[in-house]
Copies of this chain bind each other. A is one copy, B any other.
Amino acid sequence: MRLLIDMDGVIADFEGDFLRRWKETHPEKTHIPLENRKGFYVREQYPQEFSEFVQEIYHSPGFYQNLPPMPGAIEALKEIKNSLNHVFLCTSPMLPKYENCVLEKFHWVYEHLGTDWVNNIILTRDKTVVKGDVLIDDKPDIKGSCIPEWEHVIYDQPYNRNITGNRRLTWDNWKEVLNIQ
């Protein structure tokens, strides 16, 4: 099996760390608890007048590099690497403000997973052009220029629970879902 794995919201805790920083930076403003998050883009769920402040958080230097790993993700990735020959981290850079995100994603992988995994990063806005059997991704719908050849297995998050047609996975049940021993 050729496996593609997304980063933010799957192995790096974008939402959790966004919320932590939001509450720290704007304690007087409303916040949306993780379990109430709906829709893929956090910015769209906050009131319009907060849009600039929301983006300020994930555009700030160090945000991507310092995201904590999702619980169980690093251990799961190491086990997966032992079981499968072809595993890639398939991640989209933030655009147009790519300045911090692009390099920090590389740093994150190097720091948490090491050089071998840096070698297996695929940075692309269009994931449908990448060959694979399975893509694990938290994004509800993944569009691009090709009909994807991979099955989109959803990494379960509160904001994607409106999607019902896909298999779901977390780092608690990945072995059963992917049928890997």
Contacts and interface: CB of A to CB of B under 8 A. Distances in A.
B88 A129 contact: yes
Chain multiplicity (copies): 2
A178 interface: no
A124 to B, nearest CB: 4
Contacts of A85: 145
Interface stretch (A5-13, A94-102, A152-160): A94-102
Interface string A119-132: 11111111001111
Contacts of A98: 106, 118
Contacts of A99: 103
A144 B178 CA distance: 24
With most chain B CB atoms within 10 A of its CB, the pick from A96, A124, A125 is A124
Contact of A123 (B124, B132, B146, B149): B124
Contacts of A122: 122-124, 126, 129
Chain A contact patch, size range: 20 to 34
A83 interface: no
A86 interface: yes
A115 interface: yes
A93 B102 CA distance: 12
A137 to B, nearest CB: 16
Contacts of A123: 121-124
Contacts of A124: 121-124
25 contacts: A2-B129, A85-B145, A86-B145, A88-B126, A88-B129, A95-B118, A95-B119, A96-B118, A99-B103, A102-B102, A103-B103, A119-B125, A120-B125, A120-B126, A122-B122, A122-B126, A122-B129, A123-B123, A123-B124, A124-B124, A129-B131, A129-B132, A130-B131, A131-B146, A131-B149
